[in-house]
Amino acid sequence: MRVWLTPDDVRRALEAGRRRSAYARSCGAKIRFGGPEAAARNDELAAAAELVVAKATGLPWTAEFLTEKGPGDVGRLEVRWTPYHTGHLVIRPDDRADRAYALVTGTVAANDHVIRGWGWAHKLRQPEFLRDPNGLGLPAWFVPASALRSASELVEAAITYRACHAFAASFSRALAEA
């Protein structure tokens, strides 16, 4: 599912990524790969991928850095990004097993973002996907897009989620007024 960002969307996402990166570094967050500049650019582009998912699903995107104990990147959904359209959804050992993860590929420069699919972490952690491609002793599950649930199913699930929450909020207000 292809999603385009407007120039204003790109500006918002890059600003959010810069704030997030500065905050993470001030808290002593570990840089997994590359130096500080590469980490900052990755945070900017990851924020853009999150906005792509928010636009497609209508789920809320806070744009700010939150801890793993808070809500997900978009609603309760985690978003992973790669510039490579043939890339994989990477699930790390310390990722929450009870969360759903979406894969977005593409770049801000080309405005060619594609939501490749999604899945629950506990179901994606299959032995055939476990690899340590850099040989650093940091294995992770590299899930190909072909093994993910469809992006259209993600949008349908988000619509159902929003409808259920709207109903619950309406019901709660009615009870409070009764």
Query: How much is the pLDDT for 159?
Result: 74
Report phi then psi at 51, rounded to 5: -65, -35
Query: How much is the pLDDT for 60?
Result: 84
Taking every pair of Cα atoms in the chain, the longest distance, rounded to a whole number of angstroms, is 62
Q: Which of 17-26, 43-52, 159-168 has the lowest mean pLDDT?
A: 159-168
Higher-scoring residue by pLDDT: 168, 90:
90
Where do the structural domains in the chain lie, given as residue ranges?
Answer: 2-177
Query: How much is the pLDDT for 169?
Result: 63
pLDDT band of 144, cuts 50, 70, 90: very high
pLDDT band of 69, cuts 50, 70, 90: very low
Q: pTM of the predicted model, to two decimals?
A: 0.84
pLDDT band of 163, cuts 50, 70, 90: low
Query: How much is the pLDDT for 65?
Result: 62
pLDDT band of 40, cuts 50, 70, 90: confident
